[in-house]
């Protein structure tokens, strides 16, 4: 059984008889006090996020989570259709398991599905995606001399701040964890 000090982002743990996904984990030590782990947990079923403190040597049961490669095909109402890359079966995954996916995924994008006992309990998006700029204000001459940014709308409907030299039709790389512009693609 892993100890609280071993918790890392992306792990699955069992806490209060529920499955939780470790969203953030950091070690905190204040002066003469004992060190503890400050952990942000996300519930697999409800999406609820809680902050929790654990003693460093506290045991946390960890269920066996299987990671499997899937390909995003399309959106079907309130669910996403994914195809298993090993056996080519299609599965519907609830929007609740992929809350930010609609802004980052377009067809044929690779994702990692986390499953416990054959049931998908979460989906991990790629760290970065390349999307096309659908709407952006025109370039203003001389705007590159200062550190400015402008609002742009991408092909998936995501609104993001981009540098002034980005124009409609350009491909940009976006960080799915923060939703921020990284670079031109």
Q: Could you tell me which CATH number the domain at 4-55 has?
A: 2.30.30.30
Full-model pTM: 0.70
pLDDT tens-place string over residues 54-74: 998 888 888 888 889 999 999
Secondary-structure class of domain 128-184 per CATH: mainly beta
Rounded to whole angstroms, what are the CA distances from 126 to 7, 24, 102, 146, 174? 21, 17, 13, 32, 10
Q: Could you tell me which CATH number the domain at 66-124 has?
A: 2.40.50.140
pLDDT tens-place string over residues 65-102: 888 999 999 988 889 999 999 999 999 988 877 777 88
For the chain, domain boundaries? 4-55, 66-124, 128-184
pLDDT computed for residue 180 by the predictor: 92
Do 128-184 and 4-55 fall under one CATH topology? no
Query: Around 64, how many Cα atoms within 13 Å sit in the side-chain half-sphere?
Result: 2
The answer to whether the CB of 86 falls within 8 A of the CB of 79 is no
């Amino acid at each position: 059984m892993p100890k609280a000090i071993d918790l890392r982002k992306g792990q699955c743990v069992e806490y209060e008889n529920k499955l939780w996904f470790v969203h953030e984990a950091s070690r905190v030590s204040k002066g003469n006090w004992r060190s503890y782990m400050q952990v942000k947990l996300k519930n697999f079923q409800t999406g609820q996020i809680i902050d929790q403190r654990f003693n460093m040597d506290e045991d946390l049961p960890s269920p066996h989570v299987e990671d499997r490669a899937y390909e995003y095909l399309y959106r079907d109402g309130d669910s996403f259709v994914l195809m298993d890359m090993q056996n080519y079966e299609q599965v519907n995954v609830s929007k609740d398991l992929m809350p930010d996916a609609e802004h980052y995924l377009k067809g044929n994008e690779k994702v990692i599905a986390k499953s416990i006992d054959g049931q998908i309990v979460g989906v991990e998006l790629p760290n970065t995606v390349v999307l096309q700029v659908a709407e952006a204000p025109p370039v203003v001459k001389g705007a590159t001399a200062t550190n400015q940014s402008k609002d742009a709308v991408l092909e998936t409907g995501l609104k993001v701040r981009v540098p002034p030299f980005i124009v409609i039709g350009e491909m940009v790389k976006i960080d799915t964890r923060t939703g921020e512009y990284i670079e031109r693609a």
